Amino acid sequence: MKRILNTNEFLHGGDYNPEQWWDEPDVINQDFALFKQAKINTVTVGIFSWAKLEPEEGNYDFSWLDSIFDRVEEMNGHVVLATPSGARPAWLAQKYPEVLRTDNLGNKRGFGGRHNHCLTSPIYREKVREINTKLAEHFGQRKSLVLWHISNEYSGECYCESCKNAFRDWLKNKYGNLDNLNHAWWNTFWSHTYNDWSQVNPPSPLGEMGNKGMNLDWKRFITDQTISFIDNEAAPLRKITPNVPVTTNMMAGNPLMDPFAGFDYQKVAKHLDFISWDSYPAWGNDNQTTAELGRNVGLVHDFFRSLKHQNFLVMENTPSRVNWHSVDRAKRPGMHELASLQDVARGSQGVLYFQLRASRGSSEMFHGAVIEHLHPEQTRAFKDVTTVGKDLENIRPIINTNYAKARVAIVFSYDSYWALQDAESYSKDKKIWQTIQKHYRYFYKHDIPVDFVSVEDDFSNYDLLIDPMHFLMSKAYLKKLASYVKNGGRVVGTYISGVVDENDLAYMNEWPKELQDIYGVEPLETDVLYPGQSNTLNFDGHEYKAHDYCETLINCRGKVLAKYASDFYQDTPAVVEHEYGAGKGYYLACRTDYDLLEKFYEKITANLIPEFPVKKFSSNISIQVRENKDQKYYFVQNFSDKSEQIKVDGELEDLLEKKIDRGEVVLNPFGSKIYYKKGN
C-alpha cells in the first residue's frame, strides 16, 4: 500500500518537548495559547523523550503525551509522533552497555550525547521495537496522528565486535568466498590477501584505510545496516498503523548544502513512505548572496523531492538562528517568509521548525525558537512565524498539487561520489557537489525544473540527463545509459567519468565501449592544474577558461564544439557533441567557469525553457510551479534585498495579498507572490 502524508492543510509547527516543562503547567498553557496565535497546527513530539516515556525498564508512562494529544486535538491540529531511538535513557545504557557505539579506534563510548548507539546490537533493536510497539498501540488510533518520525537524523557508524561480524557476514553474502573478495579489493597489492574471514576488519586508522574496495563496501554495509535498523523500527508501526506513513528527517551539510553522504539516501528512501529533511542554510552569510544560497537550497530541495519523486516535508528549519553555524546570525527581516515559501514552492507539504519552545538549559538552549525565553510574543521570530502561518492558510488549496514535472535530471550516484572522493589522485578536494551546483545554475536561472535520478531510476521520462564526474560506472549502468541515448535521450558527461567499475577497479585497455558509442571520443590523460593555473578553450568564437581538470581526448568521431587553446594539448578537442542512435552525447573534457556552461546549455535547451504568464528580468527572481490537473500556482520570489520588477501577462490572482495583479509589478526585497491561474 502507498502511504502518503494525507492532510488538507499545510503542516506548520515543529519539534516540541513539553516533557522539559512537565512540572510547569503554566508554560504549557502559554505554549498552546501562542500556537494558536502563530497559526501553528502541528507538533512533532517524542524525539529524545525515551526517559520520560519509559522511566524504568518496562514501566511506560504515556499519560503526559496523552494530554498533549488531547490539547492538539482540541485545536484540530496534527501530531508527528517520533520514536525515541535517537537518544536512550541512562538506565538502558547502564544495564546494556552493548547498545553504545565503539569508534574506529576501538574506543567504547560512554553514556551521553545522542545518536550514540550501535546499529547491530540485538538488544538495542529489541528495546526500540518494544517501545515503538507500545507507542503504536497506544497512540495509533489518535485522529491527529499524521506521520511517524522515526528516530532523528540517522547517522554514524559503530565498530564493535558485533558490527565487525555483521560486516563479515555481509561480505560473505556478497562475495561468496575469499578469493572473490581478494580479487574485488585487489588484495595482492601490499600483500593484503586474506585467507580467513576473521582477518577482515572495517577500515580504521589503526589498520587499513587505503583499500578502495573495502572503503566502498563499508559505506554500502553501513547503508544496509541503517536500512535494517529502520525496517526494524518501522515494522510494528506499519503493522499496527497501516495508514500512517513513516519518515525520518534527512540532512544536508553546511555551508555547502550537500546531502549527507554517510550512507546512501537513495537506497534508504525505498524503506520510507515519505521524505523529510532538515534545512539549515546560513542565510545572511558574508560570502554568498541570498540569491546564490537560495539556488543551492533550491537544488537540495530538488534532491530530496527526487528521492521518491513526490512532495516532501521540511521537517526542521530555524525560525531565526541556529546555535551551531560558524556564526549564528539571525534571519534578516523578510528572509524567514521567503525561505519558508521556497520550501513549499519546491514541494514541501509544510514548514516545521526546530524548535517550538527554547529549552531552558543544556546544549540547545540558545538555538532560535518560535517561543523564546524572553518576551516570546514580541520577538521577530514569533512574528515571522505568524506571518508564515497566515500565508500557509492563504495558499491552502496548493496542498493538493505537485511540483512541476521535470524533463531534465541530474544523475547522482552515492557509490561514485564515495569512490571519487576516496580516489588518491586528481586533487584533494574534487568539488563534486560544487560541479553539480554549477551545472544546475543554468536550469535554476531559467526556472527549468530539474530532478535527480539514481542509477536505478527510470530515465525514459527525461529529455536531458546531466551526468557530471561520474567516476564509478557499473556495467549495468553503462548499458542502461547507452540504451537511453540510443532511444533518443540526450546526456551531458564530463571529465573523470567511467574510470572504474562497481568494485572500484579501473576499466582496462579502452574506455567502456558504451561511453565511446555515446560520446564519440575517448579520454586519454587528465591534466590536473593547480588552483592558480588555467587553460583556455575556444567555443563559438569566444575564449573561456578551463580549470582544475583538462582531459586530452583521442579517437574523436563527433563534432568538436570547442578546442583547447594552449599547453601540450593545444588545438585538441575539449567539448564534443556526438549522435548515437536517436539521441546525443555531449562530452565536456574540462572544468570551466559558469560562463561556458551557460553558452553551452543555451545551445541545447531551447525546447526546455518554460513559458510563464509572468516574466522576470533578473536572475534574483525564481519562478516555480506547483500544479494539478486543473490548477497552476506560480511562486515568484525575489531572493535579493532590493526591489525587483516583474511583468504579469493579463491578470493573475495574488493569493498572499488577495488581489489581482496586472502589468508591471514590484516585488519587495525578499518578497514573494503566489499567483493562481485556472486551467492548465
Residue numbers annotated as active site: 153, 316
**Distance of alpha carbon 79 from alpha carbon 36, whole angstroms:** 15
Residue whose CB is less far from ligand GAL, 155 or 201? 155
Q: Which member of 9, 224, 258, 278 binds ligand GAL (CB under 6 A)?
A: 278
> Shortest gap between Cβ of 631 and ligand GAL (angstroms)?
34
**Distance of alpha carbon 606 from alpha carbon 601, whole angstroms:** 9
Residue whose CB is less far from ligand GAL, 322 or 469? 322
What b/e sequence results for 616-636 when a residue is b if at least 16 CB atoms lie within 10 Å of its CB, and e otherwise?
A: beebbbbbbbbbeeebbbbbb
The DSSP line for 633-671 is EEEEEE-SSS-EEEEEEEEEEETTTTEEEEEEEEEPTT-
> Shortest gap between Cβ of 20 and ligand GAL (angstroms)?
13
> Shortest gap between Cβ of 321 and ligand GAL (angstroms)?
9
> Shortest gap between Cβ of 354 and ligand GAL (angstroms)?
4
Residue whose CB is less far from ligand GAL, 205 or 361? 361
**Distance of alpha carbon 277 from alpha carbon 391, whole angstroms:** 21
Q: Are 131 and 58 in contact (CB under 8 A)?
A: no
Q: Under the criterion CB under 6 A, does residue 372 sit at the interface with ligand GAL?
A: no
> Shortest gap between Cβ of 322 and ligand GAL (angstroms)?
5
Q: Are 346 and 277 in contact (CB under 8 A)?
A: no
The two beta strands, 583-588 and 490-494, are: parallel
Q: Using CA atoms in the order 214, 219, 223, 228, what is the torsion angle rounded to 10 degrees?
A: 40
> Shortest gap between Cβ of 664 and ligand GAL (angstroms)?
40
Q: Which member of 354, 511, 544, 600 binds ligand GAL (CB under 6 A)?
A: 354
> What does the block give as the cell for 242?
497501516
The two beta strands, 559-564 and 573-580, are: antiparallel
Residue whose CB is less far from ligand GAL, 153 or 217? 153
Residue whose CB is less far from ligand GAL, 316 or 527? 316
Q: Which member of 78, 129, 309, 367 binds ligand GAL (CB under 6 A)?
A: 367
Residue whose CB is less far from ligand GAL, 149 or 439? 149
Q: Which member of 9, 54, 233, 316 binds ligand GAL (CB under 6 A)?
A: 316
Q: Are 96 and 123 in contact (CB under 8 A)?
A: yes
Interface characters, 28-67, with ligand GAL (x: CB under 6 A): ----------------------------------------
**Distance of alpha carbon 158 from alpha carbon 99, whole angstroms:** 10
Q: Residues touching ligand GAL: how many (CB under 6 A)?
A: 10
Question: Among 6, 1, 677, 14, which Cα is nearest to 400's?
Answer: 6
> Shortest gap between Cβ of 128 and ligand GAL (angstroms)?
18
Q: Under the criterion CB under 6 A, does residue 330 sit at the interface with ligand GAL?
A: no
Q: Are 13 and 50 in contact (CB under 8 A)?
A: no
Residue whose CB is less far from ligand GAL, 250 or 667? 250
Site residues (CB under 6 A) for ligand GAL, limited to 248-277: 249
Residue with smallest beta-carbon separation from ligand GAL: 354
Question: Among 290, 306, 280, which Cα is nearest to 466's?
Answer: 306
In three-state secondary structure terms, 620 is coil
Q: Are 294 and 334 in contact (CB under 8 A)?
A: no
Max CA distance (Å), the chain: 77
**Distance of alpha carbon 123 from alpha carbon 408, whole angstroms:** 46
Question: What CA–CA distances, in Å, run from 419 to 220, 376, 455, 470?
Answer: 11, 49, 15, 10
> Shortest gap between Cβ of 40 and ligand GAL (angstroms)?
18
Residue whose CB is less far from ligand GAL, 79 or 395? 79
> Shortest gap between Cβ of 224 and ligand GAL (angstroms)?
23
The two beta strands, 464-467 and 408-411, are: parallel
Site residues (CB under 6 A) for ligand GAL, limited to 135-194: 152-153
Q: Under the criterion CB under 6 A, does residue 322 sit at the interface with ligand GAL?
A: yes
In the chain, what is the straight-line distance between the N-terminal and C-terminal CA atoms, in Å?
30
Interface characters, 376-395, with ligand GAL (x: CB under 6 A): --------------------
> Shortest gap between Cβ of 323 and ligand GAL (angstroms)?
7
Residue whose CB is less far from ligand GAL, 363 or 533? 363
In three-state secondary structure terms, 304 is helix
> What does the block give as the cell for 335?
528572509
In three-state secondary structure terms, 619 is coil
Residue whose CB is less far from ligand GAL, 187 or 249? 249
SS (H, E, C) 57-103: CCECCCHHHHHHHHHHHHCCCEEEEECCCCCCCHHHHHHCHHHECEC
Write the Ramachandran bin of 579: left for phi over 0, alpha for psi from -120 to 50, otherwise beta: beta
> Shortest gap between Cβ of 452 and ligand GAL (angstroms)?
22
Asked if the peptide bond before residue 255 counts as cis, ω within 30 degrees of 0, the response is: yes
Residue whose CB is less far from ligand GAL, 97 or 156? 156
Residue whose CB is less far from ligand GAL, 249 or 306? 249
The DSSP line for 437-500 is HHHHHHHHHTT--EEEE-TTS--TT-SEEEETT--B--HHHHHHHHHHHHTT-EEEEESS-S-B
> Shortest gap between Cβ of 153 and ligand GAL (angstroms)?
5
The single residue listed with the C-alpha cell 563499508 is 218
Residues in contact with ligand GAL by CB under 6 A are: 152-153, 249, 278, 280, 316, 322, 354, 364, 367
